[in-house]
Structure 1
């Protein structure tokens, strides 16, 4: 079940309980063109097939997020997928998350995004 009373001012981080601990999955912010994005940086951690817990996915849709962007900081490369497409191309992983192969993402300009000091815990 998702519980979010009011979304904080942008940008804000999305946190979720995984494997018994709270982890930060990414952040919601505006892209240069003003569209809402969910940004997930990878730097100094192993890359796995991108996935989203269903409650997080539903929160992102309700918040009006258009793009899910995966950013590889060490390579300064980024890839995106329209969030509305995720439920059509995803499979359900063994952990119950919506899993989207990176090949379903398209290359995009490397985004800079602001630091998020606020967060929302999605349940």
Structure 2
């Protein structure tokens, strides 16, 4: 699976630092992408030891894995928050994983219900 674009739109309240807002949204989106297609703790069922305890073995997205992430943000100030700000890093982390899964389901017609989606889930060679 190669994600070529992952567009985002989010209400950020008041953007105190617009460049940081975009960076936080892109970072959260990249984390969600990792959960969707890369990140998995593999445990040996016999010993209960983690088989991929380092970043050498546990895959996370790098710049080479990250697609274009265009960001649109709305500034609808939160009247109950200081300066009208809202949290911005969490929402894209939570929403991008199901968005990627939905795109893969749509493209393949497969009912996928586990992350990360591995090649064997798509080919049926489990």
Question: Shorter-chain TM-score: which interval?
Answer: under 0.3
TM-score w.r.t. the length of structure 1 is 0.21
Q: Name which one, 1 or 2, has greater alpha-carbon Rg.
A: 2
Q: Which has the higher contact order (CA 8 A, sep 6+)?
A: 2
The structure with the largest helix share of the pair is 2
TM-score w.r.t. the length of structure 2 is 0.21
